[in-house]
Amino acid sequence: MVMLRPAAECMCEACKHRILTQGWQPGQHLPPVNNCQACIEAAQRTADRFASVSESIMPSVSLQQTGLLTREQHRAKVIRHEAAHAVVAHLRGMSVTEIRVGDVTNDDVEALGNVSWEHSGELDLDAAAEISMAGWVSDRKWLAENGLADEAHLLSVAAESRGDIGVVYGKGGDAATVDRGVRAAEQNWPEYARYIDAVAESLDYFGGNLTPLVMRAVIRDLDRPRPASLPPVAESPAPPPAPATTATTTTTGGTDMAGIEEIILTISDTRAKSEQIQAALAQVQEWASEIAGRLHATVGQSPQSGVQQAIGAFSELSEQRITELHQLVSGAVSEIEQYGQRL
């Protein structure tokens, strides 16, 4: 008989501490952990609590802790996990080729999501370790930020780290390499955080599939110089008291000028929404370029004018039209921001 129980109930304190601090290293499987006698005894005690005939039962440990998080929470955590991989890879000089969030209901860590990247020249193993371990660092921080950093949740994300740790080992690393990667990601997190959060937001916006082009646009936009803060508005002197006569006001249409505070808020909202527009345009440009390339490769030799027009339309969209729209949005935002500086 097999009984599925959470990992925390079937492990000794020493093994739990090691996995919580070092992640799920290769060779650590349950039950038990590395044939640990203390873990075997812990698992048996769990069996004693949940079965009337304990000798016939050995718990099977649930690594993924399915059910600890809601589906929405799990998806949010996975999105930022993958965004962390992608951003750190980009900032460490790698060429990111894929950013994807998969089926978050699947217990297979490989199905949760994936970030692929390439490098030129000799691989910097410590950089690769930081890229891989940024996901686990993100998970732990996400749990803390959401008030969920208890032992069960931390063991769950440690279990999920085994895929990323396996990547480090597969590139020639070891436990010390993994540790350096974790420490580097922790140390550099304040620098990475705003990029990771912005890329995670875009990854969610585009349904879990983000092209590297859009990711680079999001990061580049964050680095774009912003206008200086607007100076505080001096209070105007109180107006003189109105004469004690009855006056009639006639309104013939139009609207009053908004207050300074409202204008500043509107400019800020315009800037934020325009960033989403630019990211969406970058996604459209990527898709149009992909469609044009595939059409040219498969039906480009067709003599039919309609086919050639279709290829030309997608090519023009990917090259000229979207660029013009990018410039239009950038120019409009620039004008509004300059107006704000003159207030």
pLDDT of residue 327: 77
pLDDT of residue 66: 46
Residue 221 contacts residue 275 (beta carbons within 8 Å): yes
* Interior/surface letters 306-343, b for 16+ CB within 10 angstroms, e for the rest: ebeebbeebbebbeebbeebbeebeeebeebbeebeee
Closest CA to 262 of 206, 165, 343: 343
Closest CA to 128 of 166, 179, 159, 171: 171
Each residue's pLDDT, cut to its tens digit, for the chain (343 residues) gives 444 455 666 678 887 888 788 887 766 555 445 567 787 777 677 666 655 444 444 444 444 444 578 889 989 999 999 999 999 999 999 999 999 998 766 555 566 789 999 998 899 999 999 999 999 999 999 999 999 988 888 888 887 888 899 899 999 999 999 999 999 999 999 999 999 999 999 899 888 888 888 888 888 878 876 555 444 444 444 444 544 444 444 333 333 445 666 676 677 778 778 888 888 888 888 888 888 888 877 887 888 878 888 888 888 887 778 877 877 888 787 777 777 766 6
pLDDT of residue 293: 80
Q: How far apart are CA 71 and CA 77, in angstroms?
A: 10
- CA distances (Å), origin 123, targets 134, 171, 195: 17, 9, 24
pLDDT of residue 50: 58
pLDDT of residue 67: 54
pLDDT of residue 292: 82
pTM to 2 decimals? 0.61
Instruction: Return all residues near 314 (Cβ < 8 A) that are at least 6 apart.
Output: 288, 289, 291, 292, 295
pLDDT of residue 212: 87
Residues counted in the chain: 343
